[in-house]
Structures are given as structure tokens and as C-alpha cells.
Structure 1
């Protein structure tokens, strides 16, 4: 192989999920250890891997996605190496060890199919938004891959007594055990977030983490009630 190109060759497999660079996910596929992945995220694979869009497990909660928290998924099965990406976004790999993570569906790239998951309404925000905020909660023992528009920051909310405030459109994921509430900033010309005249943040407190990307999602996730 040409020497400069050799530097981009895949490294030996050391885990079920791992990064290939900052913008691609490598998954070691095995029969019986299925995977849910975002539709259209497959960029390459080695071996024998099959794909089933909109599998039954996804259709069961499709009605929840009608609320706006949607992540079209496909079921991946087989043996080999699977490579996933999402338009060059950074990939963040998490190994759940019996705990849970609440994820913005637009930032969900892939997760082990045996994990417990579902769409849930975020408590404490209904009075700030007409339908509130919905997130995908994943829990159990297994692997999850998220995307971030740029290198994310992971804030440890248990590091101090102050609350952590995040623009909802820059939010990637957080620990579900955190307490969440909404906050309004009334200003004629607000420079916080992307609101016009009124800005909204989510306040987190307790023991856990919040993952924030350095770019706002293209969808306004939290809207004030009319």
C-alpha cells in the first residue's frame, strides 16, 4: 500500500464499537449481537451484513416519534466490520455499564439492539413549550454512538452547586437522573441562543453529565407556548 494511505487503514479491533478517526464509527458485528443504526449512516462494511429498515421494534414506538422526536432506524445483523458516519459529524462512543443516557434523536447514530430504549417526554418543560421536549432514553449494558457537530464538551454537573444551563438546540445528551427545568431570558435583543427577543435554556442539576456540541441543531427543539 502507498505509505501515506497506509496511515488511514483500520486499526485492529479492540471493542464492539470504536472510533476510526473523529468522524467515523467502526462496529464489530457478530451474529446474535444486532445493532440499530440511523438510516443512511452506513458508509462501508466488510463481511456479511444485512439491513432491515423500520424493523418491528422501531414501529412499536413510531407513534411517539410523531411528536417530533424522530430518528429513523435500521436493524443491522451479520458478521464483519461495519462503518457508520453522519455527514462528517464527530462521533462519540459510550459504553453503558448498567446505567442510562438520554439522547437528542438527531444525535443518535447507533446502539446495541439488546439495550432497553424508548421515547420519553422530558419532565419540567411543559410550561415552556406547547408539546414539551422528547428524548430517546437508552439503558442497560452495551454500546451507544452519538454524533456531535464539532468536538463536544462534557460537563460534570456534580462538580459544583451551581446549575448548568444549555441551549436546547446545542444539547446532545445527558444523564437521565439529572433534574431538568426551563429558564427564560427576557431581553429585547437577546444574544443567547437563536431566539428573537426571548431566549430559553435548560437548567441541569444533580449528579451526572451533560454533552453539548459547539453548534446549534437546525430544529428549534424548545418553543414558547403561544
Structure 2
């Protein structure tokens, strides 16, 4: 009946949480990650939207990952501190309504832009990688994290991600602001295009490009991320 179409009971039925039995990470919705926690998980600080059960949260310690990573974080000015969630229960994570993708690494490595990393298992090792050349070209906190090993990680994108295959002799160029992740065996170069800069009338952005060569893939999003301390003008 029409009067039931917008009832509270109908709303609850359409939006209520479901147990899908998919393991540690589940996509409760395209923009909400459910973590079936029994132990520990690393997550982006501030990403928790809800939880149930006995879960404790702890911000990443200054020297928890060694002084080398501390110096890298200070150098990059990165804006993605991590938090540990420990315990048993259901944890729900989200990041500004961005779309979430779950990746199950099997003795593999992946580079992820720091702004696009949502959560990962503690069994995975990680390290901050400095974009040395681009640091001199752009202001702000553009950096990436290399994740290696076997385990699950969740990344975020503004809208739908697009994965581009890269083959020998056929390089792919991307806008750094729209680049989300790439395969761990690739080391992108940074190139500038003065004509493109003039065409767009901008001081940054499309004038600086990431060049990927080799065999692998790169993930982009249809959105240019804005980093702290960087003007888009």
C-alpha cells in the first residue's frame, strides 16, 4: 500500500545492517566498511562511524613504527594518522562518503596514496614512500604508502575507480591529484608540461604528471584530491 512506502519500518528494512559472512572486511554499503574484529586492525584516524562490542581505540604512537618513519612523516607533512582498533565486535568505517574497495593481497605489494588508505590488517607491512622530486614542484602533503604481504586492505575513491593496465613500451600518464594506487613493482616518474599548464591556466595540477612505465596497473579516480597547504589556483 502507498501509505507504507515511506514508513519507518520500510526505511529500517531497506537500510538495516546485514551479516554477509564475508570475513574480516565486508562492504556493508559501497561507502561503509564493516570490520568483523577479533584482534587488531589499523584504520585511518577519525574513520570510525559506529561500533558494537568490546573495542578500544588507540592513536598511533609517535615512535611506534620507528624513528625513520617518524622523520618521513614530518618531511612529507602527511595528514593521515593511523589508529589501532583492538578487541571483539563490529566496527564501521567511512571516509567523507567516498567509495570503498577491498583488496586481498596475497604476498603482493601495492602503493596507495595516503589520502586513499582506509584500513588494513596488521599482518601487512607498510612504509611511507617519499615523492622526492614532486616535493620540490608542489606544496602540500602528497605522499604514498607501500603495503606488502598477505592480508586485506581497504582503499577509498571519490566516485568510481578506473584501473589502467600498463605494458612495456606503452606508458600511462596520470594527474597526481587523481591517482589513487598502483602496483608495487612500479616507480613512477614526474614530468612537467608547460603547454598544458598554460592551457589550463593553473599553477599546479595538470602541468605535473605521473609517468608509469613497465608492467602493472594504476588506479585513478574522476576527482582531483586537494591536499593540505596546497592551493588549486
**Band the TM-score falls in, shorter-chain normalisation:** 0.7 to 0.9
34-43 or 66-75, larger mean C-alpha shift = 66-75
The answer to whether the 8 A contact 1:172-1:212 is kept is yes
Identify the residue that residue 49 of structure 2 maps to in structure 1: 43
Query: When the two structures are superposed, what TM-score results if normalisation uses the length of structure 2?
Result: 0.82
Q: CA separation of 1:118/1:134 partners in 2, compared to 1, >3 Å: closer, same or farther?
A: same
Q: Provide the C-alpha distance between the structure 1 equivalents of 2:211 and 2:71, rounded to a whole number of angstroms.
A: 28
Partner deviation per Cα, 1:166-186 (whole Å, 9 max, x = no partner):
100111111121242122111
Task: Indicate the structure (1 or 2) with the bigger Cα radius of gyration.
Answer: 2
Q: CA separation of 1:19/1:77 partners in 2, compared to 1, >3 Å: closer, same or farther?
A: same
3-state DSSP of counterpart to 1:18: strand
Task: Give 2:128's match in structure 1, choosing from 113, 119, 125.
Answer: 119
Identify the residue that residue 180 of structure 2 maps to in structure 1: 172
Q: Provide the C-alpha distance between the structure 2 equivalents of 1:220 and 1:64, rounded to a whole number of angstroms.
A: 17
Q: Give structure 1 stretches of 5+ with no counterpart.
A: none
The answer to whether the 8 A contact 1:36-1:112 is kept is yes
Count of paired positions: 216
The answer to whether the 8 A contact 1:190-1:199 is kept is no
More helix by share: 2
In the alignment, does 2:34 pair up with 1:26?
yes
Identify the residue that residue 153 of structure 1 maps to in structure 2: 162
| RMSD, aligned α-carbons | 2.7
Query: When the two structures are superposed, what TM-score results if normalisation uses the length of structure 1?
Result: 0.85
Q: CA separation of 1:152/1:43 partners in 2, compared to 1, >3 Å: closer, same or farther?
A: same
Q: Provide the C-alpha distance between the structure 1 equivalents of 2:205 and 2:52, rounded to a whole number of angstroms.
A: 51
Deviation at 1:76, TM superposition (A): 0.6
The answer to whether the 8 A contact 2:161-2:219 is kept is yes
Q: Provide the C-alpha distance between the structure 2 equivalents of 1:220 and 1:155, rounded to a whole number of angstroms.
A: 27
Deviation at 1:114, TM superposition (A): 2.1
Partner deviation per Cα, 1:31-53 (whole Å, 9 max, x = no partner):
3xx11111111001121111011
Q: Provide the C-alpha distance between the structure 2 equivalents of 1:197 and 1:96, rounded to a whole number of angstroms.
A: 31
Partner deviation per Cα, 1:48-96 (whole Å, 9 max, x = no partner):
1110112353564222111223421111111111100011111111111
